[in-house]
């Protein structure tokens, strides 16, 4: 499958690398490829490697502008920061999004007032729904936003069965995402279809809790499991 991954940070790098290893044709989208490749320092000083270093180890993954990455894509993954996701998708262009599945893994975390972060979209709306309203001909599915990127691509790194949530209004689009999740190693029983895209509100609002647990544990190698009576 031709997949565009929007975002060059650690989430975008991790997803793009794993999907390429699985045999997909992956292009990473960024606003300015030349500027992205010119950066040599890790993000925020101690973050993931500069994209140029990462791409040297993943030469099968191409880099393009947002519109260049999405024009031929069959599936688009939004791995940009939630605060700039709508801007990035606008740069991709509505014509390149129409009819395509957009897997939204982003969260609208707001650190402007320090830690703990708040969310800029809550309660009666979600980023996923904002994307769907902005691009009604696209097919938006929310998933993978409730865990760190290593767990996204390697669920077996967390012992036992744990959950990945799926929200969306288009059953065929959700089936496409579920198939991709299966390729990443998620068993069918771990994939929880929550229903319509409005259920993305709840999974996005999990993030403050996730951050608190991460601080308590001292790392992000965990996930949520559902225990039933």
Query: 147-181, pLDDT tens digit by residue?
Result: 999 999 999 999 999 999 999 999 999 999 999 99
**Alpha-carbon dihedral sign for residues 138, 141, 145, 149:** negative
pLDDT of residue 112: 81
229 part of a folded domain:
no
DSSP β-bridge partners for residue 164: 191
DSSP β-bridge partners for residue 162: none
Specify the number of domains making up the chain.
1
226 part of a folded domain:
no
227 part of a folded domain:
no
Residue 78 CA to residue 170 CA, distance in Å, equals 17
pLDDT of residue 115: 76
pLDDT of residue 44: 56
pLDDT of residue 111: 81
Q: What are the C-alpha distances in Å from 105 to residues 42, 65, 113, 173, 217?
A: 22, 19, 23, 15, 23
169 part of a folded domain:
yes
Q: What is the CATH number of the domain that holds 174?
A: 3.40.50.720
User: Residue 180: which domain range?
Assistant: 2-217
120 part of a folded domain:
yes
Each residue of 182-214: b (16+ CB within 10 Å) or e?
A: eebebeeebbbbbeebbbbbebbbbbeebbeee
pLDDT over threshold 60, residue 45: no
171 part of a folded domain:
yes
pLDDT of residue 118: 86
DSSP β-bridge partners for residue 77: 5, 103
143 part of a folded domain:
yes
Structure tokens at 2: 């031709």
Query: 53-75, pLDDT tens digit by residue?
Result: 999 999 999 999 999 999 999 99
155 part of a folded domain:
yes
pLDDT of residue 41: 73
């Amino acid at each position: 499958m031709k997949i565009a991954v929007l975002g060059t940070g650690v989430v975008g790098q991790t997803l793009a690398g794993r999907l390429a290893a699985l045999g997909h044709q992956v292009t990473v989208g960024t606003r300015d490829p030349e500027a992205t490749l010119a950066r040599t320092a890790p993000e925020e000083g101690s973050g993931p490697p500069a994209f140029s270093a990462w791409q040297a180890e993943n030469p099968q993954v191409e880099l393009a502008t947002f519109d260049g990455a999405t024009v031929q894509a069959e599936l688009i993954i939004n791995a940009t920061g939630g605060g700039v996701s709508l801007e990035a998708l606008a740069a991709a262009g509505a014509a390149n999004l129409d009819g395509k599945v957009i897997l939204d893994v982003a969260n609208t975390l707001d650190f402007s007032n320090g830690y703990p972060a708040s969310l800029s979209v809550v309660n009666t709306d979600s980023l996923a729904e904002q994307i769907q309203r902005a691009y009604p001909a696209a097919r938006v599915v929310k998933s993978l936003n409730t865990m760190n990127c290593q767990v996204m691509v390697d669920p077996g790194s967390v012992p036992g069965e744990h959950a990945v949530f799926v929200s969306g209004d288009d059953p065929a689009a959700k089936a496409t995402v579920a198939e991709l999740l299966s390729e990443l190693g998620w068993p069918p029983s771990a994939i929880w279809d929550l229903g319509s895209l409005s259920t993305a509100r709840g999974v996005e609002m999990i993030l403050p809790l996730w951050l608190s647990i991460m601080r308590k544990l001292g790392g992000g190698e965990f996930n949520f499991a559902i225990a039933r009576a």
